[in-house]
Amino acid sequence: MFMTDSKIRWGIIGPGSIAKAFRGGLENAQHGVLAAIATRDPNRPDLAEDFPGARILKGYDALLADPDIDAVYIAVPHTGHAEWAIKAAEAGKHVLVEKPLALSAHEIDAVFHAHRKAGTFAGEAFMYRLHPQVVQLIELIRSGAIGEVRMIQSSFGFSMGKFQPEHRLFASSLAGGGILDVGGYPVSMARLIAGAAIGKPFADPVKVRGTAKLNDEGTDDWAAAILTFKNGIIAQVSCAVMANLDNVLRIHGSEGRIEVPDFWFAAGDRTRGPGRIDIIKGGKTETLSLGEERHVYSFEADAASLAIKEGRTEFPAPGMSWADSLGNARVLDIWRKDAGIEYSIERPSVRTRTIDNRPLGPNTGVIPKRTIPGLAKSASAAALGFEDFKTFSSGAILLDAFWERGGNLFDTAFVYGAGYTEKLFGEWHTSRGVRENAVLIGKGAHSPLCYPDVIARQLTQSLDRLQTDYVDVYFMHRDNLDVPVGEFVDAMDAEVKAGRIRGPFGGSNWTKERFDEAIAYAERTGKTKPQALSNNFALAEMLDPIWDGCVTASTPDFKQWLIDRQVTNFSWSSQARGFFTDRAGREKTDNEELVRVWYNDQNFGRRDRAIELARRLGKSPIHVALAYVLAQPFPSVPLIGPRTLGELDDSLNAFEIQLTPEQVKWLEQG
């Protein structure tokens, strides 16, 4: 839906040099106008001169609260981008955020999640992408002007001359270095060209290898990376804040090459003259120039303003769409990981607040609490698994959100991520101060080290990584039928008596016969009885083990056993690993795991009924599948593994569904 024909009223947060450049763009724009700037020091004498006609507001919150501002240009240092972009969404403001949109792909995803919920526009300010010269370049590639594209070379580098540890371009606390400040330009251009070569808006590389020369702050003075794309294109990208690179884009094809000097300035940088594209074939050079005189930032300002007026939430191509920005950030994430760069602002001791720079909120929300036999604390009705996260700064985003939505049950294991999941949880609960109100699941003794004497040794190491002296729930991660079950019960009972397991324990992937044997042994010997299982349980019955040693509890006889014994089952793969999404279907056989583990007539019948019920309830089949696990007549706790805030919030739709016993039986038919 279009807004009125009036111009979009822009406010600027962070009135520095980039903000002044954007102001220049707005002065030449047709659809937007600068209305106000926000600064922590409104008495600076140069503000009125640098931003003529704009209202000067004290503090960024004042700008977000201003009803006469439609959209916000965020030009604060990198470390404030995600915070203020999210706060802008919460205030109902559209945003254009200076590159990089945030410090990592996970932070960018959190920004987009906030704007998706708000229905507001969010764009990353790579101004060159909206310039007509880029359209011309794409047309040349797609028309085959140099044949098939085979290699791309792109650089953006300058020299500050002297290392200045407190300067934003060097300081680790401000996410300094060239990779985030200017490396995104050559990466985004390489991805754009690789995409144009196959008729798409962009392409993501299948392999990234990066390196860098680091300074005493641990940030990069100069850096380079190789990007390999699926279609065989290889891109060499480089950036620097302490080296004057040639700053030329070179596209090598089977019949020639294209060179574009300073591609990010295009024709709008009046100090460098008109932009140009050189096509070099057969020893001859043809030079193309648009002769465009408009300010380079005016195209970006107009594109963002027009998108807002049209009711869009993201830039159309060739601007940076949300998927494009996320793909670009993933490359930068790998590049700096390969280079060994972790900013001090990302470390647990510093990042003690949420992504939008607030103290962690209360443990209340849509996820209800329940009692679990043998556990003194109340636990959330679902547990969070988070083994996909590789850094504290990325994992903390999801952990914070799960906590603030009412979740306090966390699933870890000795083997997950070679111990990183445990380390991450330890860093998180320590930085947030929530250990005593959290319910922690630990697991150990995974095959091939599935022996009683391993339990104590691994638990000692786990507790050290977890930064705690106990777990609330404990599972042997696998069973070993060659070992008498009593030896395992003895080992876990010893940990209960030592206070290192303070709630129920049992087995993950144990048969009901083995569990009965363990209970009988404990009763005979006066040992603590196992009270919990962690087996697969889902609306779809697992036909073939996902991994060796896996056991499902979804069969009718196992389910009846759980009902009769009232044993708590912590269900992994509780949503059948995508079987209830559009990744699966009778005609979709490309996913070997889905086909092998879930495909049969009974499961497809259940899937059909989940789809039908979801349609009646206004939900998705995956929500019905999770609600089914929650609605069992025995203590049933699903383990969920969302990787993004969007996936987390989507899963929580299941808590709005209260299935009746009749609906549960209907879903199980067949």
d(C-alpha 455, C-alpha 457), whole Å: 6
Quick one: DSSP state of residue 605?
H
Strand partners, 259: 250, 278
- Predicted confidence (pLDDT) at residue 440 exceeds the cutoff of 90: yes
Q: What's the average model confidence in pLDDT over 293-320?
A: 95
| Ordered DSSP codes for 396-420 | HHHHHHHHHTT--EEE--TTGGGGH
* Closest to 400 (Cα-Cα) out of 371, 449, 357: 357
- 608-638 pLDDT, tens digit each: 999 999 999 999 999 999 999 999 999 999 9
Chain region(s) in the chain for CATH 3.40.50.720? 8-125
CB contact set of 117 (below 8 Å; sequence gap of 6+): 89, 649
Strand partners, 149: 253
**Confidence class of residue 4 from pLDDT cuts 50, 70 and 90?**
low
- Predicted confidence (pLDDT) at residue 268 exceeds the cutoff of 60: no
Strand order in the sheet with 32-39: 55-58, 32-39, 8-13, 71-74, 94-98, 122-125
Tokens 């299935």, residue located: 659
Q: What's the average model confidence in pLDDT over 208-232?
A: 97
**Confidence class of residue 3 from pLDDT cuts 50, 70 and 90?**
low
Q: What's the average model confidence in pLDDT over 247-254?
A: 97
d(C-alpha 518, C-alpha 526), whole Å: 12
pLDDT at 210: 98
CATH 3.20.20.100 assigned to domain 535-670? The reply is yes
d(C-alpha 112, C-alpha 388), whole Å: 20
- 19-31 pLDDT, tens digit each: 999 999 999 999 9
Q: What's the average model confidence in pLDDT over 503-511?
A: 97
Phi, psi of 458 (to 5 degrees): -70, -35
Phi, psi of 125 (to 5 degrees): -85, 65
Strand partners, 474: 442, 505
User: Which amino acid would we find at residue 39?
Assistant: T
Phi, psi of 486 (to 5 degrees): -60, -30
- Predicted confidence (pLDDT) at residue 269 exceeds the cutoff of 60: no
**Confidence class of residue 290 from pLDDT cuts 50, 70 and 90?**
confident
CB contact set of 330 (below 8 Å; sequence gap of 6+): 105, 204
**Confidence class of residue 592 from pLDDT cuts 50, 70 and 90?**
very high
* Closest to 348 (Cα-Cα) out of 406, 307, 304, 389: 389
Q: Are 194 and 231 in contact (CB under 8 A)?
A: yes
CATH 3.10.310.10 assigned to domain 8-125? The reply is no
Residue 626 vs residues 119, 456, 584, 644, 668: alpha-carbon distances, Å: 27, 34, 16, 18, 14
- This prediction has a pTM of 0.95
pLDDT > 90: percent of the chain: 93
pLDDT at 270: 44
pLDDT at 265: 80
Say how many C-beta atoms besides its own lie within 10 A of residue 246's C-beta: 12
Q: Which two tokens stand for residue 549?
A: 């040693």
Residue 220 vs residues 216, 224, 405, 557: alpha-carbon distances, Å: 9, 10, 38, 60
pLDDT at 274: 61
Q: What's the average model confidence in pLDDT over 240-268?
A: 91
pLDDT at 652: 96
pLDDT at 267: 53
d(C-alpha 64, C-alpha 186), whole Å: 33
If DSSP states are collapsed to H, E and C, what string results for 636-659?
Answer: EEEEECCCCHHHHHHHHHHHHCCC
Chain region(s) in the chain for CATH 3.20.20.100? 535-670
Cα dihedral sign, 26-32-37-38: negative
Tokens 């993501």, residue located: 204
| Ordered DSSP codes for 29-70 | -SSEEEEEEEES-TT-TTHHHHSTT-EEEESHHHHHH-TT--
Phi, psi of 374 (to 5 degrees): 90, -5
Q: Are 462 and 444 in contact (CB under 8 A)?
A: yes
**Confidence class of residue 275 from pLDDT cuts 50, 70 and 90?**
confident
Computed over every residue of the chain, the mean pLDDT equals 95
Q: What's the average model confidence in pLDDT over 379-394?
A: 95
* Closest to 566 (Cα-Cα) out of 533, 615, 524: 533
3-state secondary structure of 202: coil
**Confidence class of residue 286 from pLDDT cuts 50, 70 and 90?**
very high
Query: Cα–chain-centroid distance for residue 484?
Result: 44
d(C-alpha 173, C-alpha 561), whole Å: 56
Tokens 């929580």, residue located: 652
**Confidence class of residue 44 from pLDDT cuts 50, 70 and 90?**
confident
Residue 314 vs residues 6, 96, 279, 287, 317: alpha-carbon distances, Å: 20, 10, 32, 33, 9
pLDDT > 70: percent of the chain: 98
Q: What's the average model confidence in pLDDT over 233-249?
A: 97
**Confidence class of residue 1 from pLDDT cuts 50, 70 and 90?**
very low
